[in-house]
Amino acid sequence: MNELMLTDLETLVTCESPSGDPAAVARSADVVARLGAERLGCEPEYIVVDGCTHLRWVLGAGQVLVLAHHDTVWPIGSLATHPFRVEDGVLRGPGCFDMKAGLVMAMHAISALPSANVTLLVTGDEELGSPSSRELIETEAAGCSAALVLEASADGGALKLERKGVSVYEVRITGRAAHAGLEPELGVNASIEAAHQVLAVSNLGDPVLGTTVTPSVLTSGTTRNTVPAAGSFFVDARAWTVEEQLRVDKAMHALRPVLPGSSLEVIGGPNRPPLERKMSEELYARASRIAADLGQPPLRSVAVGGGSDGNFTAGIGTPTLDGLGAVGGGAHADDEHVLVAELEPRTALLTALIADLLDTP
């Protein structure tokens, strides 16, 4: 067991960093910067975009991008109910699995290299969809031969070779108010129009291709006895391919009202492009060979529906391997945990993979 890794992980986990709290994210960035300076031997560059603090270490020519985030979904005060602890080889604490363990692994892997042409980018808004860091991520990835994403692994340590692209929409509906008892016929019911649109949107998915289009939060109306004049609902759409993502986007923006006198406005579109398998296969084959050389069990791979910053790096054409971080489970849940015994071998794999990439012309 690498006690220094556990100490570093405790340092990060015990500095709470909920994505929606810029001050907390800034405090966390200071802790990450101090720790990274100790491990990597140099200070990072602070990059603040729209009030969110990101950190960048550029070592040498920055040939390989190592990507992590230090924000979490856990609100301030979570340590009181989910304290950092290690029991029976299982480490717990808010954000330990997603993804502060991955960040510690990245620092230790890079520090183990005799020399490194590596960029370590640590963002502060991944859990929000990376609104302020997307351009930064894409810019850094564009100049690199590979992007290694330290998001937590899938079940049993599997790497994530595919991620669905994510699109987010809001459908706004305008009707006309009227008294529900005296003259409802004079109104245009936004709730009924919303029902038509929700059904239309739910039919845009394609189970065969794995495309999901899910109406979620729905609001409409003001009082019990008033024909609703306005309503809206959100839509989460996910697809394995760019073609499917664009098909859904076109269909969403082609929605038309059903009730005479009602109107629609569709806001939004693709948020993350898909991470397609073709962008990961070569790196996965390389990592599998390295794992065998290290005497580690054979690697496994999965496809997952959730997005990460790896979607952005793959989306601009940079070969990307995701899920290289901690082995454990319970991301965003009460059971969030990291298997301590897996930290060292996973870090050794990451170190060897970076070294192998740097040795490749």
Q: How far apart are CA 94 and CA 228, in angstroms?
A: 42
Domain 3-164+274-359 belongs to what architecture?
3-Layer(aba) Sandwich (3.40)
How much is the pLDDT for 156?
93
CATH topology of domain 165-272: Alpha-Beta Plaits (3.30.70)
Q: What is the DSSP letter of 97?
A: I
**Annotated catalytic residue within 8, 10, 16, 71:** 71
How much is the pLDDT for 95?
98
Q: What is the number of residues in the chain?
A: 361
How much is the pLDDT for 116?
85
Backbone angles phi, psi at 109, to 5 degrees: -65, -45
Q: Where in the chain is the domain with CATH 3.40.630.10?
A: 3-164+274-359
Q: Where in the chain is the domain with CATH 3.30.70.360?
A: 165-272
Q: How far apart are CA 349 and CA 96, in angstroms?
A: 20
How much is the pLDDT for 114?
85
Q: How far apart are CA 190 and CA 193, in angstroms?
A: 5
How much is the pLDDT for 62?
87
Q: How far apart are CA 254 and CA 248, in angstroms?
A: 10
How much is the pLDDT for 359?
87
DSSP-based three-state secondary structure for 16: coil
pTM for the predicted model, two decimal places: 0.90
- 126 is an active site residue: yes
- 98 is an active site residue: no
**Annotated catalytic residue within 98, 125, 126, 162:** 126
Query: For the chain, which ranges sit under pLDDT 50?
Result: none
207: amino acid identity, one letter? P
Q: How far apart are CA 347 and CA 103, in angstroms?
A: 11
How much is the pLDDT for 119?
97
